[in-house]
Structure 1
Amino acid sequence: MNDRTSLCRIDDIPDGGAISAEIESSTGGFSLIVLRQGERVFAYHNECPHAGRRLDWSPGKFLVKDGVLVCAAHGASFDVASGACIGGPCRSGLAPVQLRVTDGDVGVGGALE
């Protein structure tokens, strides 16, 4: 993964909500879910650890409320800030992706500023 890959601007992510981002790779790429809480931004692989299915109910549309992300397929719920499973069917938490935020630009790699 290129550490200079830009995903979006922080303002593109609704506060308390999420968007999807596609990452290209030599193996075909993968989807991320990018979530925002105020000035904090989190990213996880867009894959539920329960059944390996995408978390969105429609492409790029996620069920997020009060800091909890809910898998549209089976109802597993995850803490936005940690990715930990906090309810429903899941074997583990979400797989995190390290982000960086520089001058409002959100990208993969580096430390979150």
Structure 2
Amino acid sequence: MSGATRLLCRLSDIPDGEARGFSAPPGGFTGLFAVRRGETVHVYVNSCPHIGVPLEPVPDRFLDRKRELIVCAAHGARFRVEDGVCVSGPCLGDVLEAVPVTMQGDEVHVPAEAGR
């Protein structure tokens, strides 16, 4: 790991309590998504641990109706926002792949290789 980071977005790009998806970086394979809770941003690889498909049915639709849990549209698995652990569904106990986040002011940075 090189330690290099890349700018994913600005905190202000994600409304508090919402989620946003991001395409894979150039030459990458898997996109990322971020969920904002106040000043905290949780970033995960956009791939269900059950069957490896992207989680959202339409762009930026990662959360349940109450905006409390991350949901996989393919089979309804539900994951906690704070740690990515599956709390219901066919992959119970599995975990989304977390991506380390570094905040630099309003900027959300992730490792340069995230999603590759």
TM-score interval for Structure 1 and Structure 2 normalised by the shorter chain: 0.7 to 0.9
- Tell me the distance in 2 between the aligned counterparts of 1:53 and 1:67: 21
**What whole-Å deviation, never above 9, does each CA across 1:17-74 have from its counterpart, x for those lacking one?**
1001124265x33200111111110011001111111001113322343431111111
The corresponding residue for 1:76 is 77
Same amino acid, percent of matched pairs: 41
Deviation at 1:95, TM superposition (A): 0.4
TM (normalized to structure 2)? 0.82
Amino acid at match of 2:110: V
Question: Unaligned stretches of 5+ in structure 2?
Answer: 112-116
User: One-letter code of the match for 1:37?
Assistant: R
Cα distance in structure 2, aligned partners of 1:70 and 1:31: 16
CA shift at 1:15, angstroms?
1.1
Residue of structure 2 in register with 1:30 after alignment: 30
Describe the SS at the equivalent of 2:99: coil
Number of aligned residues = 108
Where structure 1 has 5 or more consecutive residues not aligned to the other structure, the ranges are none
Q: State the distance in 2 between where 1:23 and 1:50 align.
A: 20
Task: Give the alignment's TM-score, normalised by structure 1.
Answer: 0.84
Query: Separation in 2 of the partners of 1:22 and 1:66?
Result: 22
Segments of 4+ moved more than 4 angstroms:
none
1:102 aligns to 2:104 (yes or no): yes
Q: Identify if the C-alpha distance between structure 1 residues 66 and 58 changes in structure 2 by more than 3 Å, giving closer, same or farther.
A: closer
